[in-house]
Amino acid sequence: MNILGIETSCDETAAAVIENGSCIHSNIVASSLKEHQKYGGIIPEIASRRQLECIHSVVEASLSEAELTLKDIDAVAVTEKPGLIGSLLVGQSFAQALSYGANKPLINVNHIQAHLYANFLFRKNQQKEQPDLPAIGLVVSGGHTSLFHVASFDKFNPIGQTRDDAAGEAFDKVARILGLGYPGGPAIDKIAKEGRKTDIKFNCANFPDTLDFSFSGIKTAVLYHHQKNYQNKNYSVADVAYAFQESVVKVLIQKCLQACDKYQCSNLLIGGGVAANSLFRDQLKSLKDNHSINVFYPEIGLCMDNAAMIAGLGYYLHRKF
Ligand code: KG4
Ligand code: ZN
């Protein structure tokens, strides 16, 4: 069964064709990111205008790369929420028109849940080990930091979330403070590799009895540290980035362990843009060795927003209903 997925929740316009819920036949992502960079963040009006311009060609490209036509598609899956309203409307309107015109079922998919589904995808001829459910799922992106107990593909039970900023948002804001540009995650990841462990300490608030997060305090701590020290002769942005990243990754790992323990679950799924972080990925590897947790995180391209994850989860929802 072939599902065409459409995703337009933020700055990207994406379309993909997935066979039987896992095999990627095409995965096209067009992004207007460059146009937002000079503003230091996403401008919703620019995002939705670009999406309106390119959605048709992105969907055509996804079919042509899969060497299929609309006739070979069994259903259309589209991001329903959450996201920028203007952007979601572009994807929704296009998908609704396509499904009506071609007489194909339409499946609405939750973007956050789909980020966790990215762990079940593989490229053609590259089948990989599939995670087992139930699992603990952590979505760490620009807009969300949320923990779930995933019993099945239609039972995502929320068990923890950020009380203020998302982890990716903190990366973006700290990068801005440090003059590293937008998006901040990849920039901090890169420069932190040149940083050293020093006595600079930033802590993320930890709510020990809950699975909640908070990243707004650490952003302010970096701001004050930067304002106080940036004129010092031996001030190093790389060392500050190192200390910030270390603290964020530490709390993400801690909460994953706490959740696995609380729910007696040894399967862990990670998703979202921050899952591309190299320190986080390294530490997740060691969870497998030191805590016998089966950890899954997608290849870097599938951590970011894409339509393959929408089509994949859409397949299961379509089969169920
Ligand atoms: O999942 P995503 O593509 O979009 C949302 O749904 O938000 O995530 C984007 C977020 C941005 O905040 C970006 O700075 C962050 O993911 N990000 C990273 C890295 N690559 C992207 N954060 C830390 N390290 C990275 N390597
Ligand atoms: Zn996302």
Q: Would you place residue 129 in the very low, low, confident or very high pLDDT band (cuts 50, 70, 90)?
A: confident
Tokens at 116, concatenated: 């966790």
Residue 276 in contact with ligand 1 by CB distance below 6 A: yes
- Cβ–ligand 1 contact at 183 (below 6 Å): yes
Does ligand 1 have an atom closer than 6 angstroms to the CB of 271?
A: no
Q: Is the CB of 274 under 6 A from ligand 1?
A: yes
321: pLDDT strictly greater than 80: no
Cβ of 312 below 6 Å from ligand 1: no
Atom of ligand 1 nearest to the CA of 175: 14
Cα 188 to ligand 1 centre (Å) = 11
User: Does residue 14's CB lie within 6 angstroms of at least one atom of ligand 1?
Assistant: no
Output the average pLDDT for the chain. Answer: 96
| Ligand 1 within 6 A of CB of 195 | no
Instruction: Give the ligand whose atoms come closest to the C-alpha of residue 190.
Output: 1
3-state percent breakdown (helix, strand, coil) of the chain, nearest 5: 50, 20, 30
* Distance separating alpha carbons of residues 115 and 246, to the nearest angstrom: 23
Dist CA 278 CA 148 (whole Å): 23
**Ligand 2 center to 24 CA (angstroms):** 18
In the reported structure, the alpha carbon of residue 169 is separated from the centroid of ligand 2 by a whole-number distance in angstroms of: 12
Residue nearest to atom 13 of ligand 1 (CA): 185
pLDDT at 136 over 90: yes
Quick one: what percent of the chain has pLDDT higher than 70? Answer: 100
Q: What ligand 1 atom has the least distance to the C-alpha of 144?
A: 7
246 phi/psi in degrees, rounded to 5: -60, -40
Give the model's confidence band at 40: pLDDT under 50 very low, under 70 low, under 90 confident, else very high: confident
The order of strands in the sheet holding 23-31 is 106-110, 75-81, 2-7, 12-19, 23-31, 122-123
Mean pLDDT of 16-42: 94
To test the pocket of ligand 1, the residue of 171, 277, 310 to mutate (highest count of ligand atoms within 8 Å of its CB) is: 171
Average pLDDT over residues 12-19: 98
Q: Which amino acid is it at 307?
A: A
Task: Confirm or reject: Cβ of 168 under 6 Å from ligand 1.
Answer: yes
Q: Has residue 281 got a pLDDT over 90?
A: yes
Q: Among the bound ligands, name the one nearest to the CA of residue 166.
A: 1
Pocket lining: 142 vs ligand 1, CB cutoff 6 Å:
yes
Given a contact cutoff of 8 angstroms between Cβ atoms, the answer to whether 292 and 261 are in contact is no
pLDDT value at 113 more than 70: yes
Could you tell me the pLDDT band of residue 58, with boundaries at 50, 70 and 90? very high
Ligand 1 in reach of 272 Cβ (< 6 A) = yes
Does residue 73 contact residue 315 with C-beta atoms inside 8 Å? no
Q: What is the pLDDT of residue 288?
A: 84
Q: Which of 111, 84, 80, 74 is nearest to 93 (CA)?
A: 80
Our answer on whether the CB atom of 298 is closer than 6 Å to any ligand 1 atom is no
Model pTM score: 0.96
Query: What is the crossing angle of helices 167-177 and 184-192, to 10°?
Result: 70
Q: Give me the pLDDT at residue 165, please.
A: 97
Whose CA is closest to atom 8 on ligand 1?
A: 273
